[in-house]
A and B are shown apart, each in its own frame.
Chain A
């Protein structure tokens, strides 16, 4: 019953989503498979970053170093492939590296008690610094374009990047909502002191959340390279902030606990919004402006809708009889 209420909160997002999709279909003319593919591929990294952020935000923390991790991992993959290392070796290694960076973030936040915003922002500066040293400030490209085939291949008819995204989503959601670890993450976010006294090692829980975020960022970096073949674009902090927006759009914010379906909606909404602004032919200079306004409106609508729900729940007489009361007769 509670889950249903949580889902109701998404109604404004869903409405906006369908309006945007409808409008996009009407105005955009024929959509070819190719444009969809390119579009999806270029936005998969955002999605994976947002998924990785989800457990961290449920624990009432934030990770601003993900974009830097993704960037560094992208560069390392390119360097690795160019020096003829086998891909099967590179990918596990870079994922491990992502988790390690998350571990450091987690230790600094949980054990040394530095605020997560400071910690992860400084970490992003450090990583960017390391990356400059590795690339010497130049753009790095893949020498051979074989790796790009990964981005174009399909698994069971689904493009590999999308499949990766889905697996990532399933993995994180399983961990957060169905395992002991996940329950502990939620509890720690809800009341750290109480969790500590309940026998949860909250430092460890926080550290693991940051490790999940780090490895997801690494995966996002891998997908970015598979899509473009370079780290030419250079991800920046705005990617991270977008990821936060996606998670918040999905109904998780720093005050409430999360909702798995919400993340998917948040992601779709963000994609479509980004896409449709281009589709409508809105001037590039105005796109940012529009995006900001629309996102703010959706978030406001979400909150307002939530309050409406609360009010209607508290009003007497609006009882839905399905509520089976376990209350004991007095």
Chain B
């Protein structure tokens, strides 16, 4: 896809997203805002799993770090939520840097194990430190603006999601992005042509953690109540399922996955709390039989008749 055409389509979609909530009620607006949160989470997780081949199970924990940092600063020190969100992003980035540097030199499995342990420990700490975090009761935090308005939150989340996606797009389509891919495909070969494998991996993990912290901070101030549900394995699973089902390793796949699954989850919720089970089974089948997700299936379907002449796979 040429740059011009891509820019045109993006602008069109963005314009559509700006108009979309105007005619909708409060509830659909809420669903869209949550979807945008998941777009940020899934896209940044995709930077790890899809582009550098590292599976982190602590992405939701990083969102929790962002949310709780900002929330605690606002409640205990009266700091402005916007500054709090920035602080949360920074702390998530620092933790990402630390965890990444600690376990990535030992290889991918260690990152998965350590991030899983990290998210569990964070959960335990939050539940136990009742005085600071209000445990499972949840921490009541102030909103981002003085007056609560769904539509304003929608535009804030939309802007944040666009910012996140733009940064990710620039990164992936730069030299750095090539390094990411090289590290994912063949670590030894990448090392042999001078790619600093460890630094590239740690950098990707730090950036993704910062993005999760940013998304979590905004999300917490939207919900006005931060609970241990944010840094939970269930949320982590949602992010993973959205990315896997949407299409891991493609830019747009996680975005589609986030919207599709989040809206679908609301529909399934009418019948009971089955959506996690349903998504799990679907994600198992997709990860097993179509590792490039729905987007991969669609692309294969589209490119088959003129596979040779098409270069769509490279967009």
The reply to whether chain A is a binding partner of chain B is: no
Residues of B near any A CB (own CB < 8 A): none
Residues of A near any B CB (own CB < 8 A): none
